[in-house]
Amino acid sequence: MDTKRWTVDSDVDKKTDYPQLEEAAHFLQRGHVVAFPTETVYGLGADATSDAAVKGIFEAKGRPSDNPLIVHISSLDELDSLVAEVTDIEEQLMKAFWPGPLTIIFPKKEGVFSNLVTADLNSVGIRMPAHPVALELIRLAGKPLAAPSANTSGKPSPTTADHVAKDLTGRVAGIVDGGETGVGLESTVIDCTVSPPMILRPGGVSKEEIERCIGEVDIDPSLKKEDAPRSPGMKYTHYAPTAPMFLVKDARSIQEHINTFVAEGKKVGVLVTRETAVNLSADFVRVCGSKTQLDEVARQLYGGIRSFNDTDADVILAETYPDDGIGRAIMNRLEKAAGQKWID
Ligand code: TXA
Ligand code: MG
C-alpha cells in the first residue's frame, strides 16, 4: 500500500493546507485509514460507522479486537446522534475539558457505530480533541472518527509523524503531518455511569483537575494490579521499547545501577530529567524534561522511550516521578513500558 504524506501547519492555514486536508478527508470518506495529529498523540483514524473502515485500523496496528476504540468528534452538535444519554456530570466535564484530552464513556446509541469500535460493549468512549488539524479533518470528513494511537500495537504511542511513518508506512493510506503533539500522553478515560465516577486510564487531564470540577472520583483499582481492568486496553503490554526497561526508585542511585550493568558487559541507556543527567555517565543518555516541569516530561516521554530502539542498548533505566497530577499518567505509562520491573 502506498502511504501518502500531507504536511500541514499545526494551526491550519486556510489557503495552503485545505487542499491537503480535503484530500485526507476524502480518503477517510472512502473508508481508508489515515493518521492525524491530536493534542495528545497521533491517532489512526477511520470512519467509526463503517465496519470495513474500522477493520483497517485493527489490521494496520495488529490490535486485539476486544479492545474498543475512542471516537473523535469535532462539535458538540454531533453528540446527540451518537449517545443514548448525557448526564449533568458529563455536561460539566465537557464544558470544562472539551475540546481537550478527556474521553468520556457514554451509553451508546444502537445502530450507529461499527461493533468493532465498541468491542460489542453497550458503551462508547468519545472525545473532542483540542487540535485544529484534528478538528478540521473530522469536520471535513463529516463522520465521527474512531482513532487509537497510531503505533504498532504494544509500541510507544507516536508524538511525531515520523514515529507514525516508522511503524505504519505501507500499512495505512496516509499520514497528516501537523508537527509534534502537545500533551504527549493519551487522554484520560473516565466512566461517569458509576458513582463516584471512575478514571479508567490516567492521562492528559489529571484526577485533581477533574475533582475540582465534579468532586471526588475513583481510580480503577485494578490499574495497579494484574487482574482485568475495566478499560479493556489497559491489560495489554504497551509502550514498550525493544530492550528491557527498569524503573529506578531513587534517582540518586542510578549511576550505581548503571555501573552494575556495565560490569556485566551490558550497554546501558537511561531516560532521565536534565537535573539527574548532570554528571551521569552511561552509553545512551536521553533527557526528557525537568523534575520541576512534568508537562515537559510527559511531552517527551514516548519519543525518549522510542529513541532507544535506534541504539544497541541492552538495558534501559528510567527515572520515576511523583504519582499525582500529570505524574500519575507518566508513571502509568512507564510502569507498562517496564512491565512493572523496579529496582531500588
Ligand atoms: O489521547 C487519546 O485518547 C488517543 C488519541 C489518538 O485520541 N487515543 C487513544 O486511543 O489512546 P486508544 O484506542 O489507544 O485507547 C483507548 C482506550 C483503551 O484503553 C480502551 O480500552 C478504552 O480507551 N476504551 C475505549 N472505549 C471504551 C469503553 N466503551 N469502555 C471502557 N474503556 C474504553
Ligand atoms: Mg494506544
Nearest atom (ligand 1) to Cα of 147: 6
Nearest atom (ligand 1) to Cα of 44: 6
In this prediction, the residues of the chain whose per-residue pLDDT falls under 50 are 227
Q: Are residues 88 and 182 in the same domain?
A: yes
DSSP E strand stretches across the chain: 4-7, 34-36, 43-47, 70-72, 102-107, 123-127, 145-146, 174-177, 188-191, 198-201, 218-219, 245-248, 268-272, 284-287, 315-319, 342-343
Give pLDDT, residue 234: 58
Query: What is the CATH number for 40?
Result: 3.90.870.10
Q: List the one residue out of 216, 269, 222, 265 whose CA is nearest residue 244.
A: 269
Tell me, yes or no, whether 226 lies in a domain: no
CB of 202 within 6 A of ligand 1: the answer is no
Give pLDDT, residue 101: 98
Tell me, yes or no, whether 225 lies in a domain: no
Residue where one domain finishes, among candidates 202, 219, 236: 219
Q: Are residues 53 and 19 in the same domain?
A: yes
The ligand that comes nearest to the alpha carbon of residue 152 is 2
Q: Are residues 187 and 251 in the same domain?
A: no
Give pLDDT, residue 65: 85
- What SS3 string covers 56-116? HHHHHHCCCCCCCCEEECCCHHHHHHCECCCCHHHHHHHHHHCCCCEEEEEEECCCCCCHH
Q: Are residues 59 and 199 in the same domain?
A: yes
Tell me, yes or no, whether 212 lies in a domain: yes
Give pLDDT, residue 283: 98
Residue where one domain finishes, among candidates 219, 234, 265: 219
Domains contained in the chain, number:
2
Tell me, yes or no, whether 232 lies in a domain: no
Q: Grid coordinates representing 21?
A: 486536508
Tell me, yes or no, whether 177 lies in a domain: yes
CB of 123 within 6 A of ligand 1: the answer is yes
Give pLDDT, residue 279: 87
The ligand that comes nearest to the alpha carbon of residue 231 is 1
Domain that holds residue 126: 4-219
Query: What is the CATH number for 288?
Result: 3.40.50.11030
Give pLDDT, residue 344: 86
Give, for ligand 1, the residue of 189, 194, 236 to mutate: max count of ligand atoms closer than 8 Å to Cβ. Answer: 189
The residue type of 40 is T
248-266: per-residue pLDDT in tens? 999 999 999 999 999 999 9
